[in-house]
Every structure is written in structure tokens, then in C-alpha cells.
Amino acid sequence: MKVSAQRRSELIAAAQQARSNAYAPYSKYTVGAALLAESGEVYIGANIENAVYSETICAERSAVFGAASKGERKFSVIAVATENGGAPCGSCRQVMSEFGLDTLVLMVNSEGEVVREATVGELLPMSFGPDDLATS
């Protein structure tokens, strides 16, 4: 996925801003995400932890669910901001794959530097998706 340098910078800045709103009192690992839908709208998310750890939501899923709840179904790019440029977890990869394996994932550190980038498909090879549920 091609994205202009300006748009990349905007998404990175939005992900870093979202990261500042994260609620991570347990892990102290704050994450922000900025998701660009094909419509041109940007949806942000932050990780929100819970004392019942299984009820925690990651920034990436927060952004995807927010976008999907507004009717968005196709995404171009997601910037994920962490302290060290960490990659999305397996659950986030699975959720993102539902909406397209070609979505570009920019993983950025606290300095705003892109540490690595890959498509969702590259992050989740041999993914399970809607076609796997097809019946004859």
C-alpha cells in the first residue's frame, strides 16, 4: 500500500497522541493506534487495561472496532505507536485480517520512527478468514 510521506506523518502523530490517552496501570505498556479507512477517515484507539486482564482491549482493536461501528469495512494503513515499536499481538492481527490482509501496519517507537512495517498478511501468514467458513 502506497501512502504519502505527509499522510504517514499524520497517522504517526495521531497514534502517538492516542498513546497518551492509554490506560495501562498494570503493564505500563501504553499503545496508540491510528487507522486510515479507504474512505479517508482516521480512527484512533488506545489500549485500555482492566484488573480482569482478559477484559483489556488493545489499541489496534479499539481503532478497528470504532471504525467498523461507523460502517467502515476497508482499511489502508494503521500506525501503531509503542515505546519500542512493538508489533500488534495475535488477537489484533486476527481482527485486522477480517478487514483485509493488504492493510499496511506501521510500527513506530516513542520517537515516532518507523521501526518496521508489514502488511497484515505478512504479520499473519496462513490466516483464518471468512472464506474458511464457506459451506458447500
Interatomic CA distance for residues 15 and 57, integer angstroms: 16
Instruction: Determine which one of 10, 49, 60, 117 is catalytic.
Output: 60
Backbone angles phi, psi at 118, to 5 degrees: -160, 160
Nine-digit cell string for 95? 481482527
Nine-digit cell string for 23? 490506560
Q: 93: helix, coil or strand?
A: helix
Q: Active-site residue 55, yes or no?
A: no
Please classify residue 111 by burial: count the beta carbons closer than 10 Å to its beta carbon, then call 0-12 exposed, 13-18 middle and 19+ buried. Answer: exposed
In order of 30, 49, 51, the CA distances from 26 in angstroms are: 10, 7, 8
Q: 59: helix, coil or strand?
A: helix
Which residues does the annotation mark as catalytic?
60
